[in-house]
Amino acid sequence: MIPQKLKFIFVVLIGMLTALVGCTRDDPGAGLNNGTPYVVELPDHFPRLPVPEDNPLTVEKVELGKKLFFDPMLSVDGTISCGSCHFQENGFSDPRRISLGVENRPGERNAMALVNLAYAKSLFWDGSNPSLETQAMVPIEADFEMAHDLRTVIDTLRTHPEYPQLFQEAFGKEPDLDGLIKAIASFERTLLSYRAPIDRFEAGDENALTDKQKFGRAVFFSERGECFHCHNGHNFTTELFENNGLYLDYEDKGRWRVTGLESDIGKFKVPTLRNVEKTGPYMHDGSIATLEEVMDHYATQGHPHPNRSPFMTNIELTDFEKEALVAFMRALTDEAFLTDEAFRP
């Protein structure tokens, strides 16, 4: 298995040099204006959707990416797809503590929810990947996920009865790695959650939240609750890395695997709380089963690890405050997102 730090460098280089891995030598700008623009309408409290200049959203790319996302052909034995570990009803996360790859090989961490990733500054629990495009390659080749070879995948796509035409419609060229990763990234970029009760509340509907949820919201955004320091903004995450005192001795050292800094041991990316009611189990290793248990963990301040966040040291909540916080987090559940047929295969 490739060490995490080297894998990060490898992924970035591959993303820059896709022509070396089964790609055509077309002009990198070819196909940029190919297809029908994909229109996204977001509420006022959401920032403009970030889209790379070299991968504008089109209907054709999104549909191709969705087909690839749910196609087990991307795995070496044809048994699993991206959708095998990211379930829509669970906010595109995995309800299992650890996901299973081909031949039931156990993964390393709990699969993160694929929610509003268009806004992500980095990907994976340790932030080891910089973009949706480069991220798309990692699970295909990872030994404990799809365990396939990208060159073989491209060869298979080129001889497939449907994919050559779909790639032509989306990119104006035959299947290649550049198109593969841009298509999957395009679909993932449209997995946008913005229709929860909290969004209606932010838009001015005072009745969108119950009184208990409003109280929980007040605790959430107060120095008493401390939650907002790490979970804020339209996506309820700072995108930073924190140690929340989950362990005294971390078997998985988190961000350290990328930076090598002792100060990063036990730090993991702060996840979005959108649809958090549906994305359990929680933490990087899925070690906490319920939101109530998550509240208990934070109320006890966790283990006194040297890198533990300073925001973990002053949390003393009553039982009612913990209940209200859980109620508020349930107001972040976007039922429309969890059932939207546009995201189904």
The residues of the chain scoring below 50 in pLDDT are 1-30
Provide the sign of the torsion angle of the four alpha carbons 261, 262, 264, 265, taken in this order.
positive
Count of CB atoms within 10 A of residue 25's CB?
A: 7
Provide the sign of the torsion angle of the four alpha carbons 71, 73, 79, 84, taken in this order.
negative
Contact 180, 31 (CB under 8 A): no
The CA–CA distances, whole Å, from 318 to 107, 144, 295 equal 37, 42, 10
For residue 217, the SS3 value is helix
Specify which residues 268 forms β-bridges with. 242
- Distance between CA atoms of 164 and 33, rounded to whole angstroms? 18
pLDDT of residue 313: 85
- Give me the helix-helix angle, 163-171 and 177-189, nearest 10°: 70
- Distance between CA atoms of 179 and 137, rounded to whole angstroms? 12
- Residue corresponding to tokens 């109320």: 299
Report how far apart the first and last C-alpha atoms of the chain are (Å, whole number): 31
pLDDT of residue 308: 97
For residue 210, the SS3 value is coil
pLDDT of residue 15: 42
pLDDT of residue 205: 97
- Distance between CA atoms of 247 and 190, rounded to whole angstroms? 35
pLDDT of residue 32: 63
Lookup: tokens for 265 = 């041991």
- Distance between CA atoms of 141 and 123, rounded to whole angstroms? 16
Q: Provide the strand spans (E) within the chain.
A: 241-242, 268-269
Return phi, psi of residue 336, to 5°: -65, -40
pLDDT of residue 163: 98
- Give me the helix-helix angle, 177-189 and 150-158, nearest 10°: 90
The CA–CA distances, whole Å, from 120 to 164, 278, 336 equal 31, 20, 21
Cβ contacts of residue 277 below 8 Å, gap of 6+? Answer: 291, 329, 330, 332, 333
Counting Cβ atoms within 10 Å, is residue 336 exposed (0-12), middle (13-18) or buried (19+)? exposed
Residues catalogued as catalytic = 145
Contact 333, 277 (CB under 8 A): yes
Lookup: tokens for 91 = 């906010």
Count of CB atoms within 10 A of residue 154's CB?
A: 21
ω before 281 within 30° of 0 (cis)? yes
